[in-house]
Amino acid sequence: MAARAYWQGQIRLALVSIPVEIYAATKSGAQIAFHQIHQPSGKRVRYEKTVPGLGPVKPEDIVKGYEVAKGDYVLLQPEEIEAVKLESKKTLELTQFVDASEIDVLYYERPYYVVPADDLAEEAFIVLREALRRTKKVGLGQLAMRGREYIVSLKPCGRGMVLETLRYADEVNRAQGYFRDIEDARPDAELLDLAETLIEKKTAPFKPDSFHDRYVDALERLIEKKKKSKGRRIIEDKEDAPARRGGNVIDLMAALKKSVDSGGARARKTPARKRA
């Protein structure tokens, strides 16, 4: 079954319009879902929506409300909320171009593949793709989809392009609030040299399929064992002991040297700097 387009419309650059389709570039990975079970009966726990002092309520009597003060709500009917939703525009107008490095990684949210809608759109699509590639720029615009408006970026990806939704400024926490207590100090030269050697030793091409969710794997093994044990409790021993917390430079130096020496490090292009 062919994938269904998430959005269909056109990209507009000045007077040029390019019909395109976008498709989800990612999907949810394997997850293990749990339910809450009443252990004595083995039956699933269900939840009722209740109002304090009144008890259970009917679904048709429930509306959305925004709390303006403690216990004081503005009630909104479904049709009122629907009325302010933005119509999905069929045009993405590229209003600005920036260097890719100007967009902090924190702003990127979700990627989508962009392809030309038909053969007639392909020539203009390729021209825009290659222009972005040669200038090393990212196109920016705003697009209304499924009731809300997104900031989006557009950049080349192989033979096609990738559109990414971006977070708004008020959705990103400022880093200064988390980093201000970290000391602004220069590291020891020999420690830094050892760390660089270790990074070089472990540098390799990125292969996403070499990583997998070990937690999901462990849960699947546990569930399989539990099925065979007929309810007997199973606790697996941890393979790795918790790391000892070292607090001084000597511990760090020894750990880095041991890490570099294990398995044989690649030769450095420059000799190790001597400690002052």
Listed by start position, the domains of the chain span 7-26+85-171
| pLDDT over 60 (residue 245) | no
| pLDDT over 50 (residue 271) | no
Q: Cβ contacts of residue 154 below 8 Å, gap of 6+?
A: 11, 92, 94, 114, 132, 138, 139, 140, 141, 161, 162, 163
pLDDT at 1: 43
Indicate whether this model's pTM tops 0.75.
Answer: no
| pLDDT over 60 (residue 243) | no
Q: Is residue 135 very low, low, confident or very high in pLDDT (cuts 50, 70, 90)?
A: very high
Which of 203, 195, 202, 174 has its CA nearest to residue 256?
Answer: 195
pLDDT at 104: 92
Q: Is residue 158 very low, low, confident or very high in pLDDT (cuts 50, 70, 90)?
A: very high
**Which whole number is the average pLDDT over 70-75?**
89
CATH 3.40.630.30 matches 7-26+85-171? no
pLDDT at 268: 46
Burial track 105-122 (b if 16+ CB lie within 10 A, e otherwise): eebeeebbbbbbbeeebe
Q: How far apart are the first and last CA of the chain?
A: 66
Among 133-142, 162-171, 245-254, which is the least confidently predicted range?
Answer: 245-254
Question: How many CA atoms lie within 13 Å of 193's alpha carbon, on the beta-carbon side?
Answer: 12
Helices (H) and strands (E) in the chain, counts: 6, 14
Q: Are the beta carbons of 5 and 25 closer than 8 angstroms?
A: no
Return the ∠ at Cα 202 (arms to 197 and 204), rounded to 5°. Answer: 130
Residue 11: CB atoms within 10 Å: 26
DSSP state, 170? G
| pLDDT over 70 (residue 50) | yes
pLDDT at 232: 67
Distance CA 152, CA 92 (A): 9
